[in-house]
Amino acid sequence: MRANTVKRSGLGFWIKRLLLIACLMVVALEAYFFVQIGWWVEHDPGMTSFMHVQLAALREKNPNAKLQQKWVDYDRISNNLKRAIISSEDANFTDHDGVDWNALQKAYLKNAKKGKVVAGGSTITQQLAKNLFLSGSRSYLRKGQELIITYMLEFWMDKERIFEIYLNVVEFGSGIFGAEAAAQHYYGISASRLSAAQAARLAVMLPNPRYYDAHRGTSYLARRTDLILRRMNAADLP
């Protein structure tokens, strides 16, 4: 009887110790994210987690594959592209604190009605959080971590810095990352020279850029581009 009690006590001790270690690991991970984001306030990120994943996928087919990306400062990116992306991806970007809860609720209701995921509701800050640190997998745990990182970004950075990083790391096609690489890839010009129509088209490609890189003449792409063109002038820039 006493032996069984001792065994249970010993087991409880190790369970508590393992839980403590797990908690400390989580705290250490969050601390790493927090400090790393603080560093990026003044320093530009290199490759993001998402970029590493995509490069690995490309190199499975071509060992010599490389990503196309060139960092450009915020004021060297056309305001047309900034307005187009805000109009298409996150109309309330300058107003919310990182998460647009109304947009998330609308997306949830729309997905429930369709019986599948047809809308995301993620803000520009949330998309950046995912691209910087996380995988593309879908789970409540990953979504929770995304929200934590989102609020860290909003704590450390103003909207202009968040948007500057987003514009330089977001995926625009197969191996194409950032506004400068996108402008060169699709139009042979710099990001500063993008016209309103060109910018609107790039913004519309964002939810599924690799598909639209390979299917540039779809009717949806044309219709959605026209819609974003009409909305762009109302977009507030940080």
pLDDT digit string (tens) for 42-93?
999 989 999 999 999 999 999 999 999 999 999 999 999 999 999 999 999 9
Q: How far is CA 173 from CA 30, 40, 73, 210, 212, in A?
A: 31, 25, 21, 4, 7
| pLDDT exceeds cutoff 90 at 94 | yes
Q: How many CB atoms lie within 10 A of CB 26?
A: 11
Instruction: At 124, give phi and psi (nearest 5°).
Output: -60, -40
Q: Which residues pair with 15 in a beta bridge?
A: none
State the average pLDDT for the chain. Answer: 90
Residues β-bridged to residue 177: 171
Pick 102 or 68 by higher pLDDT: 68
* pLDDT at 175 (0 to 100): 96
Distance CA(107)–CA(119), nearest Å, equals 5
The CA R_g of the chain, rounded to the nearest whole Å, is 21
Q: pLDDT tens, 118-176?
A: 556 789 999 999 999 986 667 777 888 999 999 999 999 999 999 999 999 999 999 99
Q: What are phi and psi of 176, to 5 degrees?
A: -105, 115
Running DSSP on this structure, what letter comes out for residue 47? Answer: S
Pick the CATH number of 40-234 from 1.20.1260.10, 3.40.50.10860, 1.10.3810.10, 1.10.3720.10: 1.10.3810.10
**Confidence bin at 5 (pLDDT 50/70/90):** low
User: 98 Cβ partners below 8 Å, 6+ apart?
Assistant: 123, 125, 126, 150, 151, 153, 154
pLDDT band of 114, cuts 50, 70, 90: low
Give the Cα separation of 149 and 38 in Å (integer): 12
Count CA within 13 A, CB hemisphere, residue 125. Answer: 28
What is the token pair recorded at 84?
């187009």
Residue 172 backbone dihedrals phi, psi, to 5 degrees:
-115, 0
Instruction: Please give the backbone phi and psi of residue 174, each rounded to the nearest 5 degrees, phi first.
Output: -70, 105
Lowest mean pLDDT among 10-19, 22-31, 83-92: 10-19
Phi, then psi, of 129 in degrees rounded to 5: -55, -45
Q: Distance between CA atoms of 51 and 59, rounded to whole angstroms?
A: 12
Give the model's pLDDT for residue 199.
98
pTM: 0.88
The distance from CA 93 to its chain's CA centroid, rounded to whole angstroms, is 14
